[in-house]
Amino acid sequence: MIDSILEKMTLEEQVSLLSGADFWTTVPVERLGVPKIKVTDGPNGARGAGSLVAGVKAACFPVAIALGASWSPALIRQMGTALARQAKSKGAAVLLAPTVNIHRSGLNGRNFECYSEDPMLTGELAVAYIEGVQAEGIAATIKHFVGNESEIERQTISSDIDERTLREIYLPPFEQAVRRAGVMAVMSSYNRLNGTYTSEHHWLLTKVLREEWGFDGIVMSDWFGSHSAAETINAGLDLEMPGPARDRGEKLVAAVREGKVEPATVRAAARRMLLLLERVGAFRKTPDLTERAVDLTEDRALIRRLGAEGAVLLKNDGILPLAKTSLDRIAVIGPNAATARVMGGGSAQIAAHYMVSPLEGIRAALSNANSISHSVGCRHNRLIDVFKGKITVEYFKERGFKGAPLHVETVDKGEFFWFELPSGQLEPADFSARMKMQFVPEESGEHVFGMTNAGLARLFVDGRLTVDGLDGWTRGENYFGTANDEQRGAVMLEAGRTYEVTVEYEPSITNEDGINLIAVRFGVEKPLGDADIEAAVETARNADVALLFVGRDGEWDTEGLDLPNMRLPGRQEELIEKVAAANANTVVVLQTGGPIEMPWLGKVRAVLQMWYPGQELGNAVADVLFGDVEPGGRLPQTFPKALSDNSAITGDLAVYPGKDGHVRYGESVFVGYRHHDTRAVEPLFPFGYGLGYTRFRWSEPRLSASEMSSEGVIVSIDVTNIGDRAGSELVQLYVRSPKAKVERPDKELRAFAKLALQPGETGAAILKILPRDLAYFDAEAGAFRAEAGDYQLIVAANAADIRFVIDLPSPSSYLQPPSY
């Protein structure tokens, strides 16, 4: 069927398939019955074609680092299946996920979107995710291929990575997705790789991806991430996104006519696009692009379970789990207590069906809600609190707010990120919008209004210009680097009085990099100070236990910018110190997208890392704190004692964050625990670390063979739950290699098994390794090499908790090229 359609297509029709029609759909060829299909973000929920900050509601699942902490491929496969259903509810056939870039610096703004610092763990979870999604007939899109481990200058920076490091650390998750899961789509990254844009990188997209690994799906650009006609398609990029065509269309037709692109190259790319449509069933049934909100009981239960499975108990001196019946007074404190921080920022955002805050979850878990007191203490937000309430929006056909509004609507949040304007008569490059709202402060005093805009905007309070986002506008870090840094203005307000707030917005001229977004965000807040911290301390002092919810949110952990450091923002560290001094029973619950420094660790009784676990946040927190379930998570990323202990933070700007348009991966393969173990840098918490509520006994390991062979070796370990509670144990298998002609890490993860056991129950961890698991990549030979000799198998509960070391001879050398 596909070849029959291809034979009838003109060159222009073939080329039309190779660019999007708009932001989210492909181009149909109605003459030949070729339909359009829709793609959708993202990794923790299917948003559909709506705004990043609004639109049809969807189920919000945990972010990737929380899934990485679960170490549970089976659960993640279930999540993939659920996400495929959510994609269908948005009329989408392609899900733009998963993200499998590696945790490198600890500061990456999208650290939360990635599974782990380890390629083996990342690959296992990605395979499970893809299998779940694609079993339902939805295409998964693994991204970002490759070298996108930072958001700094990401559209242009060159990630300079040697081939050995690529083959051992950064490429394996993509390879596993292709070879094992049959992923249907790959998204190229924005950055350059060793000087060449990945969207134009023939070695990457054709030699490695297609010829070595046998990939037969499509390669699409990240949005606005392609820069040429001939170079991209000759390299192997099939689909330019978003549409309409910028570097394809007539330019690509001309390139064929001029002999810069072979007609067969266009035909092959068009064929892959048609194959994708066939694989997702678009030819069998015309895709219904209608978007619906589908809130399923089974999705709610799965999200809640995943939240607990990814929760990592970092410290516990016995205070957890809390007994529901023995606590008369509980203090719930902190900037993340009453507000549900359920996801990171950027393109992963969705409009969740609902969001349960920790305070709400704890109240629901306890029969005596009157025993709970709450205090905020301090703020940690990077941007002023977004305005919430009735907002009337008037849209005008041209700039300048001329004449009568063409369209009027009412919304409830002061953030707009327009992929599609509400009327087809409005042009994205030439319209204006006026937002009108009323604000009634609860307290008298100074209030701060803030606004950031991709475009030009001004904010007025009672007709007086308060925030100027027009004069002197310059690009900053918001909205993927297309908006200005937040502009602020302070106003003295009177409690109970009604103030008229107006925002006027117009789009700006096209940005020089071709990314032209239209967005505005505005808000107002009354700053917190010493009195608010003291109020939180008093709340803690009068309680039996203080539950302190701190961390970050999606303004910090977001696409578009990296973190400034690894400390808690705002006055949160001060809040922890003072609350802990007032109440000896202080439990800290963290929500971050990666590691943080903890100078206060010795002053609190327990620390629970919850990440951003989706819409059931509060319920999952309560489940763990009160022992209804155990914290099932183990760290997928090393937590250093200090940022300077990270392998990428060397003081050399060329290594991080980059210099003169290049970022050099100078640490080579020594990322995460590979660095800490090999360089003897003691971490705060090691890779794979996590506590539970019960105890386990491990048997002596059993091996299926006394030496390595082509069939591999199976290691079996019996694990018994010797405690009085159900719980889970993680068994990790590392390989330690003999001296080679290149320096190798002290040990490398090669297999793992997570066992859920009832009290008294015994389960078997079955761990298999193959000859390639002993190997490193020999760049001179262009192959994976393992010399004959004596290796060691290290059985561990985490990278620092080694239970058994087993000698394993390998009598034969192993040499395997990448294309096998």
- Report the catalytic residues: 222
- Cis amide linkage into residue 98, ω under 30° from 0: yes
| Angstrom distance (rounded) from CA 156 to CA 814 | 39
| Angstrom distance (rounded) from CA 266 to CA 273 | 11
Phi then psi for 377, rounded to 5 degrees? 90, -60
Report whether 114 contacts 100 (CB < 8 A): yes
Burial of 38 from C-beta contacts in 10 A (0-12 / 13-18 / 19+)? buried
The length of the chain is 820
Check residue 375 and report its DSSP letter.
Answer: E
Report whether 358 contacts 621 (CB < 8 A): yes
Q: Look up residue 764 and give its amino acid.
A: A
Q: Cα(first)–Cα(last) distance of the chain, in Å? A: 30
| Angstrom distance (rounded) from CA 501 to CA 488 | 14
DSSP-assigned letters across all residues of 479-527:
TTTTSPPPEEEEEEE-TT--EEEEEEEE--PPPTTS----EEEEEEEPP
Q: For residue 484, what are the β-bridge partners? A: none
CA dihedral 591, 597, 603, 608 (to 10 degrees): 30
Phi-psi category of 575—alpha, beta or left, where left has phi over 0 and alpha has psi -120 to 50?
Answer: alpha
| Angstrom distance (rounded) from CA 14 to CA 145 | 25
Report whether 133 contacts 140 (CB < 8 A): yes
Check residue 389 and report its DSSP letter.
Answer: E
Residues 6+ away with beta carbon under 8 Å from 284: none
Going by C-alpha positions, the residue among 549, 545, 673, 570 that lies closest to residue 612 is 549
330's tokens: 């509980």
Phi then psi for 423, rounded to 5 degrees? -135, 140
140's tokens: 């998964």
Q: Look up residue 426 and give its amino acid.
A: L
Report whether 148 contacts 191 (CB < 8 A): yes
Residue 122: CA atoms inside 13 Å, Cβ hemisphere, count? 28
Phi then psi for 11, rounded to 5 degrees? -55, -45
- Cis amide linkage into residue 321, ω under 30° from 0: yes
Residues 6+ away with beta carbon under 8 Å from 617: 307, 340, 341, 342, 355, 356, 357, 358, 361, 610
246's tokens: 């910028």
Cα Rg, the chain, nearest whole Å:
27
| Angstrom distance (rounded) from CA 812 to CA 59 | 51
Q: For residue 460, what are the β-bridge partners? A: 465, 502
Q: For residue 808, what are the β-bridge partners? A: 791
Strands across the sheet with 783-786, in order? 776-778, 783-786, 814-816
Tell me which residue has tokens 């676990």. 613
